[in-house]
Amino acid sequence: MPLPALPERAIVIGARVRDWRAAVTRAGDALQRAGVTRASYTQRMVRTVEDHGAYIVIAPGLALAHARPGRDVLTEGLSVVTLAEPVSFGHPYNDPVRVVLGLAVRSPERHISAVAELANVFNDESVIASIAAAERPADVRALLRS
């Protein structure tokens, strides 16, 4: 199964944020702007980190922000936010974060298949640095399609 859609409106290049909360919020705002989610999904993504810690920083420099499927997910989608200045999430090994992915899907089953697809893309970890260095949304889309 393919990755959820990544519309250009859901890609933010070189965002300036002061902390992890703002970084996750930008990823949520991007999903909302693309018509994928409502604002409450963004709040739930932030709460996931508050409740469970920074484990969403799954690899050096990369955070995978998401919450459980819910009625505030209108359709499935991805967002990508690259940060002008990296921020700390409080992860013991993988800070600082340069790239935040936002993921929203409508069922647990689809969530699993979307994450599996992301695992395949990011098994080549050089993709993280390439996304962080991307200058245009089209470059990010091309990297995630690879």
Partner 1 sequence: MKILTVCGMGIGTSILLKMNTEKALKALGASADVEASDIGSARGAARTVDIVLISHDLAEQLGDVPAKVIEIQNFLSVDEISQKLAPEV
Identify which of residues 16 and 50 has a Cβ nearer to partner 1 in the complex: 50
Residue that the structure tokens 């690879």 belong to: 146
Give the list of residues 6+ apart from residue 144 with CB closer than 8 angstroms, or none.
Answer: 3, 6, 78, 80, 121, 127, 131
How many whole angstroms separate alpha carbon 26 and alpha carbon 80?
9
What tokens appear for 138 in the block?
A: 């089209």
Is the Cβ of residue 15 or residue 128 nearer to partner 1 in the bound state?
A: 128
Q: Which is nearer to partner 1, 116 or 138 (CB)?
A: 116
Q: Tell me the closest approach of the beta carbon of residue 16 to partner 1, in angstroms.
A: 26
Please state the three-class secondary structure of 85-105 as a single string: EEECCCCCCCCCEEEEEEEEC
Q: List interacting residues with partner 1 (CB under 8 A).
A: 48, 51-56, 58-60, 62, 64, 66-68, 91-94, 103, 108, 111-112, 115-116, 118-120, 122-123, 125
The nearer residue to partner 1, 1 or 51, going by C-beta atoms, is 51
CA distance 59 to 142: 21
Quote the least distance from Cβ 30 to partner 1, whole Å: 18
Q: How far is the CB of 132 from partner 1 (least distance, A)?
A: 15
Report the sign of the C-alpha dihedral through residues 4, 9, 58, 73, in that order.
negative
Instruction: Give me the least distance between CB of 38 and partner 1, in Å please.
Output: 19
Q: Within a 10 A sphere around the Cβ of 135, how many other Cβ atoms?
A: 10
Q: In terms of CB distance, is 75 or 94 closer to partner 1?
A: 94
- Write down the least CB distance from residue 68 to partner 1, Å: 6
